[in-house]
Amino acid sequence: MINKFSPKQLDNFHIVLWLIKDVFWVKELQLWGVLMIIPTVGVAVVLTIQSIVQKQGFYPNFAILCWMIADSTWMADEFFILDIEWITLGLFGLGIISMIYSYVFLSNILNIKYLEKFRNKSFLS
């Protein structure tokens, strides 16, 4: 079924899943919130894999995947008091590092002259 969506449609569908999951979290509907982790993170995984194949937008999609897993971990930690805040922080950090890497090494958003020699290396493309 997921193959019937264009990447943009799948991305928009993912936003709806994410919002539904967070509504269940806010309303403290534990069972529904936890069940919504599966499709929300699942679609994020699909979008990330598609971005690898298409060689476009991998780092933002990877950051969103980290965000979704971190968000889900945070929700589970609040629901069940699992004391796993460190996992949430690590995943948020990994997403931030992914985006910083993307901005510094792969795009021209940050035009830092001394990094120019690194941007042109084949292993970064």
Domain range summary for the chain, segments of one domain joined by +: 2-124
pTM: 0.83
Residue 120: per-residue pLDDT: 57
Q: Read off the tokens for 62.
A: 């990877």
- Give 112 or 14, the one with higher predicted confidence: 14
- d(CA 63, CA 91) in angstroms, rounded, equals 9
Residue 122: per-residue pLDDT: 47
Give per-residue pLDDT as tens, 16-57. 999 999 999 999 999 999 999 999 999 999 999 999 987 778
Q: Read off the tokens for 3.
A: 């193959």
Residue 54: per-residue pLDDT: 78
Residue 85: per-residue pLDDT: 96
What is the mean pLDDT of the segment spanning 52-68?
Answer: 91
H/E run at residue 88:
helix 85-101
